[in-house]
Amino acid sequence: MNWDQVEGKWKQYSGKLKEKWGKLTDDDLTTINGKRDQLVGKLQERYGMAKDQAESQIDEFTRRLSEADREAHKTRGA
């Protein structure tokens, strides 16, 4: 899954983002509005992580979303 897909389904995925990064507020998620660079900045701000660490975590999160979507499609298709 690429970030454009996450951005396109931002409202759907924002709950999952909040599960992963609980320090993000609803206002943060509204402000970020699917923009990856703004999410990186908020993760740096809220968690005190370096930019490359935030980007790495976002990449891992996106990969897991993709895997979960594939599994959901398999289950529905079976």
Nearest CA to 57 out of 24, 27, 25, 17 is that of: 17
pLDDT at position 43 over 90: yes
Per-residue confidence band for 70, with pLDDT thresholds at 50, 70 and 90 = confident
**pLDDT at residue 75, as a whole number:** 78
pLDDT tens for 3-35 read: 999 999 999 999 999 999 999 999 999 999 999
Any idea what DSSP says for residue 1? -
- Measured CA to CA, the distance from residue 18 to residue 35 in angstroms comes to 15
CB-CB contact of 45 with 54 (8 Å): no
Per-residue confidence band for 2, with pLDDT thresholds at 50, 70 and 90 = confident
pLDDT tens for 45-66 read: 999 999 999 999 999 999 999 8
Classify residue 18 as exposed, middle or buried by CB count within 10 Å of its CB (0-12, 13-18, 19+): middle
CB-CB contact of 57 with 40 (8 Å): no
